[in-house]
Amino acid sequence: MSVKRSLSKTYAGDLTSKSFISMLRREPNDLRKKMLLLGYVTSQLEKKKQSIFLVGGQAVETYTAGQFPTGDIDVTTSDSATTQKVLKSLGFEEIGMIWLNKPLGIAFHIVGYSAPERSRTIRIGPYKARIVGVEELILDRLSAAKFWNIPADYEKAKVLYDNFEKQIDKEYLREIAKKKKVVDLLLRITETPSPKLGR
């Protein structure tokens, strides 16, 4: 039986938040745990025709399979109040701007209310989570590297570009990079080869 099937079976049906959390605690893989949690929150919001998207550091961590670990799960949601209600039902407590679940060791941070222009769907067991597209994530990291002077974010953008180059909409990337005034850094990324990847 594949992992995917067993996940679908484990989390099948309309689980209460309590039974979902008790099952989630047994999940040994941290990234899968976070994705299942996000998937559950997404399912609860979509029932009310609302949406939630994974953005920021956790999106980078997901696309790089944990090579750039982050602290909290940054999300944008169309309905902050309902999102907070769902998090509360899952045992999260509000601490400043963060929603923390101590036993799970997971924190959510609602960073905005607008949906990304381009997003992708992650299927995890019976759930679907939405994640910001790689293009927007690269541009976001380049802006942070340039205007917030965070050199590590340039590295993240570079790794994302190299690993998703074939899937990236380069025209869109250039166009938005111009608007965000990060074309110089984008050029640096595209022109710096990654020799070990055979580019």
Partner 1 sequence: MYVRVKKIGSKRYAYLAEGVSKNGKVRQKTLAYLGPLVKIATGVSDEISRKVDGKVRNVDWNKINMDIRRIPLDFDELQEIKRDMLPRVLIGRQNRSQDIGRGNRPRVEGELAAITIIARRGFNEMFRTLKDGTLVMR
Q: Which residues bind partner 1 (CB under 8 A)?
A: 2-4, 31-32, 35, 63-67, 69, 120-125, 131, 149, 151-152, 154-155, 158-159, 162-163, 167, 194-197
Helix ranges restricted to H, the chain = 3-10, 17-24, 30-46, 56-63, 80-89, 134-147, 151-164, 170-179, 183-191
Query: At closest approach, how far in Å is the CB of 156 from partner 1?
Result: 10
In the complex with partner 1, the residue whose CB is nearer, 79 or 165, is 165
Q: In the structure encoding, which two tokens stand for residue 95, read together?
A: 């601490």
Query: At closest approach, how far in Å is the CB of 186 from partner 1?
Result: 15
- Nearest Cα residue to 180 out of 130, 129, 150, 135: 135
In the complex with partner 1, the residue whose CB is nearer, 96 or 151, is 151
Rounded to 5 degrees, φ, ψ at 78 are: -80, -15
Query: At closest approach, how far in Å is the CB of 1 from partner 1?
Result: 13
In the complex with partner 1, the residue whose CB is nearer, 20 or 154, is 154
- Round the CA-based radius of gyration of the chain to a whole number and report it: 18
In the complex with partner 1, the residue whose CB is nearer, 89 or 168, is 168
